[in-house]
Chain A
Amino acid sequence: MRIRNALVMVLLLGLAGGTAAKETTAVFKTAEAKHFTGAEGVELTPAFYDYFYAELRSELTKSKLVREVIGEGEAVDDADAEKSVVITGTVTEYKKGSAVKSALIGFGAGLRSLKMDADVIRRSDQQNLSIFHVHVKVDPRWNEKTMAKFAAQQIAKDMKKEFAEKK
């Protein structure tokens, strides 16, 4: 009986340990997301970049990878600079897509597509820690802001994968 109880306890502890290991602890003290810029020829409204900025900050907060997500241009204590990052990026390509193609052909034809590069830079020495290439495809009838949401989610997910693993 005692042995069985001990085994159950060990099993439960093991499960609890597994769950705890899955939880992400903050890797960075602060992260500053900057407004992304559009490369030449990219026709996206300024509202898209505003929304993407807000969405990226929201996703970074949700990811718990960062203790504090600060706004653009906010001052950071020198002591925290080494453990702080700045996220900048550029939208390299945007295709509006075609609702007609999407409806008639299907199989991914006519989808709205967005490509962007995001750089994660350490604040203290401006060293580039990582570059993420994001490619999002959505239905052409969907709002462009939905695309921003997916792109922000992808960046946060990639960052979590990259930095939580490195840690």
Chain B
Amino acid sequence: MRITGKLAGNFVLATALFAFHSKAVADEPKPKPENIISVHLTEPVAPQKFERVPKFWITDISDRSGNPQPMLVLKSRGGIFLDRQPTVIVRETLEESLKSGNLLAADSNSADLVIRLYLFHFGLAEGSGLDFFGKVEYSAIVKNPKTGETAEVKATGTFIAKGAARKKNVQKNVQEDLEESLKDATRNFLRGQQLKEAVALLWKGGDAAQSPDAKP
């Protein structure tokens, strides 16, 4: 009798846990065509002018945000998802911008400087609650493949977009927020003093810098 009572108790507990879990799973937002946003810059960011123009190549981008769901931008209001991984979005944006300034190499072998990027944050950060605070933060290791020398360049982009009540407007504002943050971060990277110094340190002008005696 005592065993039956215990079993019944366990059964009730298990049922309650199962019901709670299924409710939690049901609340988890799922990507649907209507809650997916596409983040891309309308026009590329023009990079700064270098004294000696090197060609860059982006070798790899690693997500170091520690976010288990990098494509989920906003959990509330049915969720807002990105259409691509943040690493892909950042790579595309950087490549397009480098290309616009004629700084993108054709492949890794022909590149004067290669970039390895670590993405620390892509998405919304905690704001005042009245608006959307977008933040994109990454660090790049710029390397001269010939000498093996490296330099670190950090970039951050932020933007504050208006809050909204309607779901449609929330989605629109979040998209604008992310695009502006991404643009800001790209600008911060490509027009930054750090990149200028890294290029000056690592890139001496390639063949032009080599002494004529070295050639046969």
Chain A positions within 8 Å of B, measured between CB atoms, are: 47, 50-51, 53-55, 57-58, 70-75, 143, 145-146, 148-149
Contacts and interface: CB of A to CB of B under 8 A. Distances in A.
Nearest to B48: A75
Nearest to A144: B128
Nearest to B184: A71
B187 A74 contact: yes
A27 B129 CA distance: 33
Interface stretch (B31-39, B87-95, B155-163): B155-163
B128 A74 contact: no
B201 interface: no
Contact of A54 (B48, B158, B191): B158
Contacts of A50: 125, 135, 158
Interface stretch (B11-19, B70-78, B97-105, B192-200): B192-200
B188 interface: yes
Nearest to B197: A75
A146 B158 contact: no
Contacts of A58: 159-160
Contact of A74 (B130, B133, B158, B188): B188
Interface residues of B toward A: which range?
A: 20 to 34
Nearest to B153: A73
Question: Most chain-A Cβ atoms within 10 A of its Cβ — which of B48, B135, B160, B192?
Answer: B160
A57 B129 contact: no
A148 B188 contact: no
A54 B126 CA distance: 12
Contacts of A145: 126-129, 133
Interface in B168-214: 184, 187-188, 191-194, 196
B128 A146 contact: yes
Interface in B118-174: 125-130, 133, 135, 156-160
A53 B196 CA distance: 23
Top-7 shortest CB links A-B:
A54-B158, A145-B128, A71-B188, A74-B191, A58-B160, A146-B128, A73-B192
B194 A47 contact: no
Contacts of B127: 51, 145
B160 A54 contact: yes
Nearest to B158: A54
B191 A75 contact: yes
B156 A71 contact: yes
A53 B159 CA distance: 10
B188 A73 contact: yes
Nearest to A71: B188
B120 to A, nearest CB: 12
A57 B130 CA distance: 17
Contacts of B156: 71-72
Contacts of A51: 125-128, 133
A54 B133 contact: yes
A149 to B, nearest CB: 6
Contacts of B133: 51, 54, 145
B126 A74 contact: no
Contacts of A75: 48, 191-193, 196
